[in-house]
Amino acid sequence: MNESDNQLIEAATAARVRSLAPFSNFMVGAALQTKAGKVFTGCNVESASYGLTVCAERVAIWKALSEGERDFTNLVIVADTETLTPPCGTCRQIIWEFAKHATIVLANLHGQKEEVLIEDLLPRAFDARFLKEASRS
Cβ-contact 41, 14 below 8 angstroms: yes
- Which residues are bridge partners to 79 per DSSP? 28, 108
What one-character DSSP code corresponds to residue 86?
P
| Paired sense of beta strands 72-79 and 113-116, if any | unpaired
Question: Among all residues, which ones are annotated catalytic?
Answer: 57
